[in-house]
Structure 1
Amino acid sequence: MTVPLDPDQAPGTTRTLLTEGGLVRRTVLEGGLRVVTEAMPGVRTATIGIWVGVGSRDETPTLSGASHFLEHLLFKGTRKRTALEISAALDAVGGEMNAFTGKEYTCYHARVLDDDLPLAVDVLADMVTDSLITAEDVEAERDVILEEIAMNEDDPDDVVHNLATSLAWGTTPLGRPVAGDPHTIRGLSRAQILRYYRRRYVPSATVVSVAGNVDHDRVVAQVAEAFAAVLSAAGDARPAPPRAGSSRVRFRRARGLVSRPTEQANVLAALPGLSRGDDRRHALGVLNAVLGGGMSSRLFQEIREKRGLAYSVYSFGANYADAGMLGVYAGCAPGKLGDVLKVVRDELATFAERGPSEEELERGKGQLKGSVVLGLEDPASRMSRIAKADLLNGELASLDDLLARIDDVTLDDARDVARMFAGRPSLAVVGPFESLDAVDL
């Protein structure tokens, strides 16, 4: 069963979405704020996430990194709490709190004992709705973010993934790093960040998601109280619909090198993937498992087990509202890079031409189904799933329906989607090379 999440659901109304595995309910509050919960009576914890539908791809070039900068600043203090009081409130009850920024959303989350959920709701809502964002905090956190960017630049794995994204989507917002770059971070002013905060952090773009040993009606009451000031100011706005696609997003096949004196070469070969809502995404998930998703996958067996060319090798998919990427990563000795890339290209070409065997297809289905179920065993993963369903997809599939969609992938479906693996991939390399001309690619 797949349940559409109605953007026109009337404020103040509650719907039961799913009862399979856990009771999922959704209430729309005044101003379009959505509250979604999943009851898991067998646990003694609750995980809350406040998800805002804004990320790095919503930034102009001069605002690059603003979403991530803002995420940091919301921990620095409100009119009600200092930065120390924010962290101490959750520490005092043994809770955990953090946040992350993506290309299409930002999430502030906490995990606490079920009895302490009202405190977590109050603290996170206070941060999201009433942060001060003082000039002093902006300057202090600017240095912290510059250090974070520098730390990421010291990690070849991070560098090669950022390079691959940049090669694929160029200077479009989707191609820029989430954290921004040192130039844009140094240029962001307090006024710019504050305007961005007030314009983007609105109830209609926000989902409060909670999973664990919770009662939906109590959570709704707690959220309504914590967000009362911004809800009354928002009026009769309705929930924002899922993000629409952009005709400006085009995948580019290019090559790029970041020269570093590393002991290992890091390479990422990328091809166009599927957008988040594409009906073929389940077939692609199965194919990813077959190609490089585990120890029995083609790439792992051929590159590591049979030839000993690399320790780490895997494939992955990245999906956005209007674009996607298929990626193959490997880390190897610099002198073996040419051999690794030849195997990768040969495997991609063979996969595109013939697709998987029946045995591989069934194994890939089993692996994908197992990872889906195992990944939903804790409240944090359930919280994330129901939030993304509302914020990004506009529908929530039951677990049985999701597993059935994977089971329904036929060999013909898989071989049809496998043709996406054809063509010369985009290539990102980080390693001790003066130029790519010096490597047998």
Structure 2
Amino acid sequence: MLCFSLAPTLALAEGEQNQTQSQTGSTTTSTKPASQQSGAVQIPSPESLQLQVKSAVLLEPVSGQVLLNINGDQALPPASMTKMMTEYIVADLVKQGKFKWDEMVTVGENASETIGSRIFLAEGDQHTMEELYIAMAVGSANDATVALAEHVAGSEQAFVKMMNDEAKRMGMKNTHFANSTGLDIADMPEKYKTPGNQETVMSAMDAAILAKYIVTDHPDFARFTSIQTHKFRERDKAPIVNYNWMLEANKNVTNFKKYAYEGLDGLKTGHTSNAGNCFTGTAERNGVRLISVVMGTSSESARFVETRKVLDYGFNNFETKQIIAPKATVPGTETVTVKKAKNTSVPVVSDQAVSFVIPKGTDTSKVQAKVTLSNETLTAPLKQGTKVGTVTYSFKPDGMNQTLEKTVNLITAQDVEKAGWFKLLMRAIGDFFSDLFNGIKNLF
């Protein structure tokens, strides 16, 4: 295994698997007074983590900031981490009301013949979508996964198209799905094998992006992913045991307590001979959630050992800090001019707060603001909150190689009333004589 610098990775498969006035379109940059940065945590070097992985990524999902990136754009076999996309699509269709968790799914031939990690479904068996979803999320059951894919799309290949379309929409640039499970094509049932030889691949960065969509669009994800054990059928001799040994709840389980991690509640493990051992994990502490991905580790336990290093790196060294408060005034662009307004100089503010994930203790006084006003002429009346442009805040913290940026809208801070006809007439007369005087003055 190689030890790398910082970069992103993902896995899917299991078991066998200055001053701006009223000119439109103008920009301005203002900088808060710089001050000496002091007290900031010294971020450990990538080498000091000694990560034994093919790739790894650490991402904060709200800002989308990448805090650690080791070969993150390298497309690798993700094994059962592939099922994260299946989980996302199924949960999204239920959320949209197109399917219901309690509706029955009839198992087809493809699902019944799927090998690897499974719950031994027989053709014709019937189970609810929720039962099959739990088997997929907790036990990484390939047969349950295929049954769900066929139920919502008609066939697994039709579902695979949905997976690849979603990957494109999410901006996953180094991903291709060949099936719903993450199995190698050779291990799929002969009759249902994906044509061609383009296997499933996904980069660690893409895995982190997918996980970000899961935790953001489906904040109740842990209802499934944090289940420790689940008895699928009454006749089953033993329950399904979650492959995720790092669940915080495992702190009291003898075999797993040394892996249990504070705040960890998901997401998905993966293993095949080609992929090695992979894990996309997520944990929340003090209101901050982080997503980690490790790919290509040497063993089941190693993927959790390496994940702990990655998450510790994030929680020990970084914090989420509000840089700009909501409804903030931008120095140099406190107002804009609005034509035909009772008061032509109208105050403007940013429409939301700006937060960055930065090294702990970093001084944030050195922030740049670049304003871009709309090309449209502003004419009264205007409602409070009318967008008049944007402001981009940028900041390069000590200890980080990247410059952090976020763009928010610049909006009117109050309603803008239209002036009465008499005021507009007097203003027009004043402007006429002012222009006339300036014209005469320029003759001499």
Higher helix share: 1
Tell me the TM-score normalized by structure 1. Answer: 0.25
Tell me the TM-score normalized by structure 2. Answer: 0.25
Q: Which has the larger radius of gyration?
A: 2
